[in-house]
């Protein structure tokens, strides 16, 4: 992170992972965290200590929890595209944006969000396979054209 950055511009500054997790578990509970974040440490024998141990070793999961803390628990506005590229602890919250009350979340909302993500993933997979199929046809056609034109012995082989 840039040394010029003012760490006070981020609610994660000065808060330990254990403290952060304790706050959101006390407010939402492990079941709701699992429903929203889909991280197994919140589902299989959940505890603060085991979750902290897992999150310290797993960058993607820790960043997901820290993002949840900033944007759901602290109700900050969504980060700009530039700030979103940074890990949550390195993001700068613009002046004037102050943390608010935790978002009202429910298992029903989490289920709807999960279904929406599943539909989006399925659509992405379908589009990806269609692109791959089109690309294979183009490559196959161009190979046969190239082989036919560049190999003078091609017509003699059978």
Helix axes 107-150 and 30-37, enclosed angle (nearest 10): 20
Please name the residue ranges forming H helices in the chain. Answer: 17-28, 30-37, 48-57, 59-68, 81-84, 107-150
Distance of CA 91 to the CA centre of its chain: 15
pLDDT in tens, 60-104: 999 999 999 999 999 988 888 898 899 999 988 888 888 889 999
Residue at token pair 């979340």: 105
Report the mean per-residue pLDDT for the chain.
84
Contact (CB, 8 A) for 48 and 18: yes
Q: In the predicted model, is pLDDT for residue 117 greater than 60?
A: yes
* Residue 58: per-residue pLDDT: 95
d(CA 99, CA 109): 22
* Residue 132: per-residue pLDDT: 82
* Residue 21: per-residue pLDDT: 96
Q: What is the CATH number of domain 7-105?
A: 1.10.720.30
Mean pLDDT, rounded, for 133-137: 72
d(CA 86, CA 1): 9
Regarding pTM above 0.75, the answer is no
């Amino acid at each position: 992170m840039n040394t010029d950055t003012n760490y006070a511009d981020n609610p994660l500054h000065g808060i330990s992972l254990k403290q952060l997790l304790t706050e959101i578990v006390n407010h939402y509970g492990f079941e709701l965290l699992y429903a929203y974040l889909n991280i197994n440490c919140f589902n299989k024998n959940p505890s603060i200590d085991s979750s902290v141990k897992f999150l310290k070793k797993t960058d993607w999961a820790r960043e997901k929890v820290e993002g949840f803390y900033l944007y759901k628990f602290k109700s900050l506005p969504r980060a700009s595209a530039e700030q979103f590229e940074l890990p949550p602890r390195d993001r700068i919250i613009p002046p004037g944006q102050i943390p608010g009350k935790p978002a009202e979340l429910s298992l029903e909302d989490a289920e709807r969000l999960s279904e929406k993500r599943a539909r989006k993933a399925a659509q992405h997979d379908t589009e990806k396979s269609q692109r791959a199929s089109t690309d294979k046809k183009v490559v196959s056609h161009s190979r046969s054209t190239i082989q036919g034109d560049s190999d003078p012995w091609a017509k003699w082989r059978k």
